[in-house]
A and B are shown apart, each in its own frame.
Chain A
Amino acid sequence: MLPSHPPAAGRRAVAAPPWRAAAALALALGLHGAALASPASDIAELKKALAAMKANYDQRITALETQLHATQDALAQARAAGPAAAAPATATAAASAPDTTLAASPAAPPPDALAAVAPPPPVDTSAAAPTGAATAGANAFNPQISLILSGQYAHTSQDPASARITGFALPPGAETGVGSRGFSLSESELALAANIDPWLAGNINLSISGDNSIEAEEAYITTTSLPDGLVLKAGRFFSGIGYLNSQHSHTWDFVDNPLAYQAMLGTQYGDDGLQLHWLAPTDQFLEFGLEAGRGRSFPGDDGSRNAAGMAAFTFHTGGDIGDSHSWRAGLSWLQADADGQALSDVARDGGPVDTTFSGRTRVWIADGVWKWAPHGNATRTYFKLQGEWLQSRRSGDLAVGEGIAAPYRAIQSGGYVQGVWQFLPLWRVGLRTERLDPGHANYGLNADVLAGTDYHPTKNSLMVDFNPSEFSRFRLQLAQDRSRQGAIDHQVLLQYQTSLGAHGAHSY
């Protein structure tokens, strides 16, 4: 065991050498900061700096004045030219003709003229025309709007309505399987985002499902101004646990989320609460997250309580290896409470049975992703390998039907590994393999009604997608789903995904 040392910091440093390095680094950085803050206390130096600042401002004012004159001249010219000058903007649909835009703005001096420019005053302000003339009016403050339109066709050998993951009791109506057979709307999304003020930004994602329901997937405010790598988020958001959890469905590489997510996180864990992220001031990416929330959805339940029903901790690190490889790995932990959570289970005799769970669930997630692209240029070809492993421990009381609650413990786990390869520009192929372990459940007094299972659900999926542009994708996914004992589901899924409006930026 670890030797015990009196100073706590020293003990931690001994137990985990990286901490020592981190502490030393933090200290070093802090001291660097202090050094930075104490300027050369020489008055002459200060005077020099002030004089330089003054000179600098004078120069900038002169530059601005010149620019102003140039703009005024250009305006006067445009007015003199009258409607003829205003016309090209609307008349020419040919965006490829640079001549029209050139004509509309003051021309840059020809090379010969430049050769004659006297060296010292460097500012060639005549070419610096006004930039990005902001649209006037109240609409200028409208948030960025982006819309994801998506739809699918599903052909399955088993009825998705009866989809179930053997060995994993989920709330009735939990999202498992591929949704509905035939043609359907997949998750279409409307997102609005904007800065609120100099300190906050806001974001909302509304998801429209095939059954005409609209759900606020995310609706949060986030800070943009906290110091020291801190970001605080409040509202409804996808938890930062794992790799896939915080990603919206249109960024997934397969049509559906992995079985492990369906079985242990209710497809994707979102909650109402607070999230604090801290990025360490190191060159190595070290990101820590803390979350507290309501515990709104499975494995929690929407109970009435003042205390937080969910707590989570996330850690991620990552970096580059050479210029062609990059990676990210992480470890997360989520705890959610449930009080009277209704579950659909299977009895010893194979028939359905309703149970009620009250207790705590703890989920550990290990995640990793590695990406390769020649010289980091993913335009032509790239490869992405990702995997996650989840372990869920439930402990509390379980009641069968209207019966009395009896102590219950279960440890379940599962994960997936997937690879996606862009073998040609626009074309990608992906393979995913998944496996779940129902583990061992201790049903206590209910052992005469409920029994565990030895069945290990598995699933293999193959996908091919074609991306005509950065904004559209057509995907074919074939899957052999053995998540339900004794009923292999052969799935053929066709899907389109498109992105309209503001150009969304995606996380790694």
Chain B
Amino acid sequence: MKKPDWTAICAIDDIYPDCGVCALVDDEQIAIFRVGDAVYAIGNHDPASDANVLSRGLVGDIGGELVVASPLYKQHFSLLTGRCIEEPELSVPVYPVRLSEAGAVSVQCRPTPARAASTRRRLVVIGNGMAAMRTLEELLELAPQAYDITVFAAEPRDTYNRILLSGVLAGDRRAEEIVTHPPDWFERHGIVLHRGDAVVRIDRGTRTVRSRLGVVAPYDRLLIATGSTAAVLPVPGNDLPGVLTFRDLQDVDAMLAAAGQWRRVVVIGGGLLGLEAATGLARQGMQVSVVHLTDILMDRQLDAHAAGLLRQDLEGRGLKFCMNAETVAILGTDRVTGVKLADERELPCDLVVMATGIRPNIALAKAAGLRCDRGILVDDTLLSFDPAIYAVGECVQHRATTYGLVAPLWDQARVCAAHLAERGVRRYAGSRVATQLKVSGIKVFSAGDFSERVGRESLVLHDAKRGIYKRLIIEDGRVRGAVLYGETADGAWYFDLMNEGRKVDDLRDQLLFGRPEQAGLATATQ
């Protein structure tokens, strides 16, 4: 399917506010309206009067829906859908239209497909990350014909599996290998993809979004999957060249480029991402120091003992650690030369990678007046404050929790897709998360809650020689958490038990020694 070209029409200022103009494009008369700072394009031909007059009609709204009134018989046509409000069997075509930052208005001559099948509604998806794509896959599975789908992707790249980024950094994979949804996937599914064009505004009143390049896309349903961005420490020098984060393929490219050029790197943050970055960079031949705020590596996932084993293993791979270390400044004038810690120590380096956490991307939603806290607030159907807008992924906050791991995204995608497909029986009740460190040769598994608390009981297995440490947290006879180091094969089983909420009193003595074989069921791993 070849995409039609955009045809420049005029400047926004050439159109009087709340009025229309008519343009002849490829022998089609297109009526273009300016409402506030947005532009809309529909056919100029009025089917009720059979006259090319709609560009001269008055613009208004009926029940919140933008319309133009035909100058002849006064039927109202929706600017977004082309539908006639008074006579539903009548409609006019709607054309894609965009407004550039510079104020240039352009249209595509081919009408948006919505019109071709008037029963199909329009779904606009903001983001082409893993959450968005999984939701689309689920949706196409459930109701392939329900929507005309438009996807806006901020990154110019193909959709890829971000979980595998550390593999690319470590040199175990190439960037092409982690692509999950190449452009032809979109074409095959009839999805309009605006690649490298970020949505800059959501107009909930008109149910449209507007992109950086000026595309205005109307929606019946909007799915926000804007993800998150890496947190940058608010310290002096954080914007110096040589300060990177570890979030997307661009970051990986930058790191790989730096690794070829520089020797010493400080990774700030000894969490999951930081350690994956650190080991990846070490694999690239760099001297890596990890600066961590507490004395427990991966402290959201590990207890002190497992963290100690992990640190030993990583030190064995040449990593150095500064524990209990707070970064107060990035040193350097033209480029990073070091990191300064609160205890006055300075770590000289050529590259700094900040891996101190992620922040949900909520600016767009916030600007649109959606209710947000740390993330976009959603209910158990992943619906935002606006009944036409769903949100999934790392940008959402569900039951006071935000997630930075992939498994909850899958859960959310399933529920959200079900509701988009109007088979809305599923509910999302939050996810227990399991973490595995993706560093080859190091097996770490963590799931659930393992903080010490009254009523929590621990099962602990140590085998120092094999470097194995396992701890299960039991509460009320059920598995609440698991920390596995050195041997993680049973992690998935524990995770299942945790999610099932199954009483494990009968298994308790055997739990840490692995799933009983006579159970016969293959271990389900994601």
Q: Do A and B come from one complex?
A: no
Q: Using a CB–CB distance below 8 Å, which chain A residues touch chain B?
A: none
Q: Using a CB–CB distance below 8 Å, which chain B residues touch chain A?
A: none
